[in-house]
Amino acid sequence: MIAVDDRIGKIQERLKTENIDGFLVTCWENKRYLTNFSGSTGWVVVTPDRCIIMIDGRYTEQAAQECPSFVERIHISDFVAGFPKELPATLNQLKLKRLGIEAHKMTLLEARSIEENSGSVTLVSTTGWIEALRIKKSPEEVRLLREAILMGEKACEKGISKVEPDVPEVKIAHTIIDYLSQHGVKESFDTIVASGERSAMPHGRPTERKMKKGDVVVIDMGALVSGYHSDITRTVCIGEPTDEQKKVYELLQKAQEAAYKVIKPGITGKEADAAARKAIQEAGYGDYFSHGLGHGIGLEIHEAPPLRKTGDQVLEEGMVVTVEPGIYMAGKFGMRLEDDVLVTADGCEILTKIPQKLKL
């Protein structure tokens, strides 16, 4: 179990600095990050000296097992306007006047509901307090990410092994999902399988289209292990690839290598993006690289830091990002290669080990 006392302590210190009496956490990933609680329903209230989780009867035992002992538990009897019936009384008992909320995660309707039912409590908008802590992974988080990547690799290889003429795209996706399920793991997101001309769709969902000789097939998938996501893309060709297909594939590998050479603490996401993009632009394919180079992964499949043209976030040791250049030519084919990368003290470590092989 991941130790969370330091995480809660940092939020408590920020409450004191910002002169805020308490902080209501409603985002699922942030609740898990602070308390280890993995249930689907729960509300966390942090004050300068306490941490409370509000759960209903379905999660009494789960919260007792997952949350550290210093996280107090309040049992919810019912709900009012989508929030615990006990929330207003709890806020009043804590004598909270200024309550921080996750403004980027809460709807206006939810915020108004709290104000209308919680007396004199004044809501204070906050943005990204916990996400700023989540961006750098602890050794335990890196271990879980490695597990998610390894499981994703095994499932991806299983899917690739089924790629052949007359097989529908959906069968490849089902093969991947079934493998993960058999090992007690869920997919990080809806698995992408796109073949032939459909491979030019960056997020092409699998269809009943039957693959055929000469097709390029893009498989983008991930595994979810203990709340942590992996994200892997491989592109293969059924039969002998054309000269252009070989050229594009090798160009994507070159773009990845260019990014790996610059990814290290101190550079920005846009600098990493620019390094990969330059290689593609110089080869004349710049107009076909239509998205950013990558993104952070962790408790969410897409989180900070972004690796794109506008990515000003400075990379630091402990961040984990994807590197996924792609080239998509409508009416012809598309390709993408994606690996998960750990920013180290003096560079980066490629965590994804599954081989890159265009020809089956």
> Residues 259-310: pLDDT tens digits?
999 999 999 999 999 999 999 999 999 999 999 999 999 999 999 999 999 9
Q: How confident is the model at residue 207 (pLDDT cuts 50, 70, 90)?
A: very high
Q: How confident is the model at residue 189 (pLDDT cuts 50, 70, 90)?
A: very high
Find the Cα–Cα–Cα–Cα dihedral 307, 255, 158, 219, rounded to 10°. Answer: 70
The pLDDT of residue 81 is above 90: no
CA distance 349 to 183: 27
**HSE (side-chain half, CA atoms, 13 Å) at 349:** 11
The alpha-carbon radius of gyration of the chain (Å, integer) is 23
CA distance 248 to 286: 12
pLDDT tens, residue by residue, 2-41: 878 899 999 999 999 999 999 999 999 999 999 999 998 9
Question: Exposed (0-12), middle (13-18) or buried (19+): which is 187, by Cβ within 10 Å?
Answer: buried
With beta carbons less than 8 A apart as the criterion, state whether 121 and 45 touch: no
Q: How far is CA 252 from the centre of its chain?
A: 23
The pLDDT of residue 205 is above 90: yes
Contacts of 95 (CB under 8 A, 6+ apart): 21
Q: How confident is the model at residue 117 (pLDDT cuts 50, 70, 90)?
A: confident
CA distance 25 to 27: 6
- Mean pLDDT for 320-338 is 98
- Mean pLDDT for 38-62 is 94
With beta carbons less than 8 A apart as the criterion, state whether 198 and 204 touch: yes
Contacts of 301 (CB under 8 A, 6+ apart): 188, 189, 222, 229, 231
Q: Specify the pTM.
A: 0.94
Helix (H) or strand (E) holding 327: strand 326-329
pLDDT tens, residue by residue, 310-319: 999 999 999 9
Question: Exposed (0-12), middle (13-18) or buried (19+): which is 336, by Cβ within 10 Å?
Answer: buried
Percent of the chain with pLDDT over 70: 100
The CA angle 258-260-262, to the nearest 5 degrees, is 80
Helix (H) or strand (E) holding 7: helix 5-18
CA distance 345 to 347: 6
CA distance 346 to 263: 9
pLDDT tens, residue by residue, 98-109: 999 999 999 898
The per-residue pLDDT for 318 is 98
Percent of the chain with pLDDT over 90: 88
The single residue listed with the structure tokens 């032939």 is: 196
